[in-house]
């Protein structure tokens, strides 16, 4: 797999990020340390750090400074995951017990707060005020994204635009900012950083659409949870909105979203979405976002890093888990 080869090349730098993440949380209070290390060990694709490293190649590649920028961005991502799990009362994530399930919702909330604070504290050390500005704004937008997700929970009467605005805030802005920050830390030009931001934004949108798609197409083993979990929890994603264009499918989805709907209605709704063209249509939109990301690359300097970003876009667009 191409992305794996890409990861291989950055292996030493990614290891450094892992070690730094573990080191940063190891110094904390015992409960925070245990819970945060548990989170770290649960893994993750480290998408945001990898984009920082990739985009850092557009300037002076200083691995220590890039790691110092990548680690807090991953911490912010982790913080939002812990807080989401508290809200969803999730018991597992990626097949592992959540912090909330193991240490209680209270600890999970404070672990999230701790990661936010720690992330900001580390970003400050970079001494690039533009970066604090970018990150604090994204944090606010991410919270609004989460609230929008709560607001639209269980509601089928929403538009594709509502969905896109939500994933923009929840996912795309942090990935876009990771790309931009990688470039800024490496001292690339403002214009280059801005292009990389746009690249990251489109990739981020594609990435989240893919994620929402995989929730319907993945197996329980691949996902670490039952397929259709989003819909089961009332989270109306893009494939669902597209599938609901068919009035009969919409009717079943609406029943599945009613409070107290039983499992058989939920299963019916999931199967209907899986058999609909909603999956295909969502996949095509993800492809369009990827294509836009690739077009942005054409405006960037023709260096090896540009090919890496192209590969990453193509691999993410075709990932199966």
Of the pair 121, 320, the CB lying nearest a second copy is at 121
Q: What's the min distance (Å) between Cβ of 71 and a second copy?
A: 14
Q: Give least dist CB 311 to a second copy, A.
A: 33
Distance of closest approach, residue 27 Cβ to a second copy, in angstroms: 10
- Report the residue number, 94 or 133, with the smaller CB distance to a second copy: 133
Q: What is the CA radius of gyration of the chain?
A: 20
Closest CA to 170 of 155, 154, 195, 152: 152
Nearer to a second copy, 134 or 256 (CB): 134
Instruction: Indicate if the alpha-carbon torsion angle 258, 221, 92, 39 is positive or negative.
Output: negative
Match 């450094």 to its residue by tokens.
Answer: 16
Is the separation of the CB atoms in 32 and 111 below 8 Å? yes
Q: 123 or 188, CB closer to a second copy?
A: 123
Closer by beta carbon to a second copy, 25 or else 196: 25
- Min dist CB 79 to a second copy, Å, is 8
- Binding positions for a second copy, rule: CB under 8 A: 28-29, 31-32, 83, 86-87, 106-107, 109-110, 112-114, 116-118, 120-121, 123-125, 127, 129, 132-133, 135-137, 139-140, 142-144, 146-148, 150-151
Q: How far apart are CA 165 and CA 128, in angstroms?
A: 29
Dihedral in degrees, nearest 10, Cα atoms 26, 27, 30, 36: -40
Comparison of 128 and 294: residue with beta carbon closer to a second copy: 128
CA dist 55 and 177 (Å) reads 11
Select from 172, 171, 158 the least CA-distant residue to 235: 158
C-alpha span between 94 and 82 (Å, rounded): 13
Measure CA 87 to chain center. 17
Q: Which is nearer to a second copy, 111 or 309 (CB)?
A: 111
* Least distance to a second copy, CB of residue 117, Å: 4
Distance in Å, CB of 74 to a second copy, minimum:
17
What does the alpha-carbon distance between residue 228 and residue 278 come to, in Å, rounded to a whole number?
13
By the 8 A CB rule, do 282 and 238 touch?
A: yes
Tell me the closest approach of the beta carbon of residue 173 to a second copy, in angstroms: 12
- In terms of CB distance, is 144 or 160 closer to a second copy? 144
> Shortest distance, CB of residue 195 to a second copy, whole angstroms?
24
Task: Tell me the residue length of the chain.
Answer: 321
Look up residue 97 and give its DSSP letter. E
Read off the DSSP letter of residue 28: S
């Amino acid at each position: 797999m191409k992305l794996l080869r890409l990861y291989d090349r950055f292996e030493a730098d990614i290891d450094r990020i892992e070690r730094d993440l573990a080191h940063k949380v190891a110094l904390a209070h015992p409960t925070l340390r245990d819970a945060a290390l548990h989170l770290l060990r649960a893994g993750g694709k480290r998408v945001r750090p990898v984009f920082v490293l990739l985009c850092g190649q557009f300037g002076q590649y200083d691995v220590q400074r890039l790691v110092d920028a990548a680690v807090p961005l991953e911490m912010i991502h982790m913080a939002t995951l812990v807080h989401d799990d508290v809200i969803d009362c999730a018991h597992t994530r990626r097949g592992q017990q959540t912090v909330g399930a193991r240490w209680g919702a209270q600890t999970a909330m404070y672990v999230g707060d701790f990661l936010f604070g720690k992330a900001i504290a580390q970003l400050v050390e970079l001494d690039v005020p533009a970066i604090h500005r970018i990150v604090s704004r994204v944090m606010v937008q991410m919270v609004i994204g989460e609230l929008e997700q709560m607001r639209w929970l269980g509601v089928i009467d929403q538009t594709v635009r509502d969905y896109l605005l939500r994933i923009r805030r929840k996912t795309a802005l942090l990935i876009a900012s990771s790309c931009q920050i990688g470039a800024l830390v490496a001292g690339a030009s403002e214009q280059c950083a801005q292009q990389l931001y746009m690249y990251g934004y489109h990739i981020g949108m594609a990435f989240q659409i893919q994620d929402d798609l995989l929730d319907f197409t993945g197996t329980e083993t691949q996902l670490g949870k039952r397929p259709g979990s989003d819909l089961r929890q009332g989270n109306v994603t893009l494939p669902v909105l597209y599938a609901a264009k068919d009035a009969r499918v919409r009717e079943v989805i609406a029943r599945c979203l009613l409070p107290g709907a039983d499992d058989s209605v939920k299963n019916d709704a999931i199967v209907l979405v899986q058999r609909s063209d909603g999956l295909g249509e969502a996949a095509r939109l993800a492809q369009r976002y990827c294509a836009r990301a690739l077009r942005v690359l054409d405006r960037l300097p023709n260096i090896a890093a540009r090919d890496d970003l192209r590969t990453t876009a193509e691999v993410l667009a075709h990932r199966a888990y």
